[in-house]
Amino acid sequence: MAFKLASSPHLKVQLQTQSVMRRVILCALPGIAAQFYFFGWGVIVQVILAIAIALLSEAAVLKLRKRPILPTLSDNSAVLTALLIGVSIPSIAPWWVVVVGTIFAIVIVKHLYGGLGQNIFNPAMAAYVMLLISFPVQMTSWSVPLPLAQTPMDLGLTLNAIFGAMTPEQLSIYKYGIDGIAMATPLDTVKTDLSLGLTITESLSKTIFSDGFGVGWFWVNVAYLVGGLAMLKLKVIRWQISVGILASLFVCSSFGYLLSPDTHIGPLFQLFSGATMLAVFFIATDPVTAATSVRGRLLFGALIGVLVYVIRTYGGYPDAFAFAILLANLCAPFIDYYIKPRSYGHRAGS
């Protein structure tokens, strides 16, 4: 057995931004693969388009700001932002949606505030909210998961749909399932049904819920969960924020479910539907816009969980993570101001 003696310092090399971002991107691949399996080529096309636009607009802004272009471009942060935008918008949204969103994220949300490390808001989520508010129709038209689709889309059809070679009437075929009923996303369906006076049980008997959670969405969430656990293992992210969100969302939705199971979605459904796992591990954990201390991060996560529950239950939009994360981003400096780690050798509070 070799016994190595090394002189101090014994700290290993700190991770650079570039490799952190690269690991996050690699860990997102299982989720993207799941989305590709259930929703087809659209997600790949959107991600590639978003990355290209993000690199172009970042280079343009850096040139305007007279900053070195290559070092900043190669830190992969713009690629990650673009990737998150690409996976969170509907896979058959027209091309200009993702283009407008990515330019907004990079130019306005990131660089106008001073670039990476200075932005108050998560660029991808700010862009998502901007798109959702500006183009509500395009941003809520998800195609039917491929296993349920009446007419599955191949690559050619997807490109036609994204680059505007299809009329809305032609496109609407792809929103019909095998049972000939137009489908929305699981959260959307439940919300609509509740407003129509149906109970949760009645709503969950629809074809889209044939596996209990909404076909496709469950496995997409599982894939992002796996990627997230891998990031924890690689120490790319800390556990506090993710655990905070999951715990508070679980507690809130359990309360609601226990009080009135007919009108509230169950906790497991909350955790494995919509954007939950993607947001919990990949978006909310952005170190720039989150709180920084251990307890602060827990509180930050819990705040997101509560907001998500409230917005999903009482709000007008089907999913809530983008809004919840932006609101929590606003609170992060406040949390950091009041929750400071105890400095070594001093009593708490002094």
Q: Is 101 exposed, middle or buried (0-12, 13-18, 19+ CB in 10 A)?
A: buried
CB of 275 to other proteins, least distance (A): 21
CB of 274 to other proteins, least distance (A): 23
CB of 70 to other proteins, least distance (A): 26
CB of 97 to other proteins, least distance (A): 10
Dihedral Cα 298, 302, 304, 310, nearest 10 deg = 180
Between 130 and 208, CB nearer to other proteins: 130
CB of 156 to other proteins, least distance (A): 23
Between 134 and 210, CB nearer to other proteins: 134
CA distances from 187 to 34, 135, 147 (A): 19, 19, 19
CB of 285 to other proteins, least distance (A): 26
Can you tell me the distance from the alpha carbon of 309 to that of 295, in angstroms, rounded to the nearest whole number? 21
Q: Residue 179: which of 217, 205, 141, 216 has the closest Cα?
A: 205
Between 28 and 131, CB nearer to other proteins: 131
Q: Tokens 């008997």 map to which residue? A: 205
Can you tell me the distance from the alpha carbon of 130 to that of 135, in angstroms, rounded to the nearest whole number? 8
Between 133 and 258, CB nearer to other proteins: 133
Between 35 and 88, CB nearer to other proteins: 88
Can you tell me the distance from the alpha carbon of 219 to that of 225, in angstroms, rounded to the nearest whole number? 9
CB of 111 to other proteins, least distance (A): 12
Q: Which residue type does 206 have?
A: K
Can you tell me the distance from the alpha carbon of 300 to that of 243, in angstroms, rounded to the nearest whole number? 10
Between 108 and 331, CB nearer to other proteins: 108
The Cβ-side half-sphere exposure at 26, using a 13 Å CA radius, reads 10
Between 108 and 288, CB nearer to other proteins: 108
Residues 6+ apart with CB under 8 A from 164: 94, 95
How many CB atoms are closer than 10 A to CB 56?
A: 16
Q: Can you say how many angstroms the Cα of residue 234 is from the centroid of all Cα atoms in its chain?
A: 20
Between 35 and 141, CB nearer to other proteins: 141
Q: Which residues in this chain contact other proteins in the complex, by CB under 8 A?
A: 100, 108, 130, 133-138
Q: Residue 280: which of 231, 334, 344, 208 has the closest Cα?
A: 231
CB of 166 to other proteins, least distance (A): 13
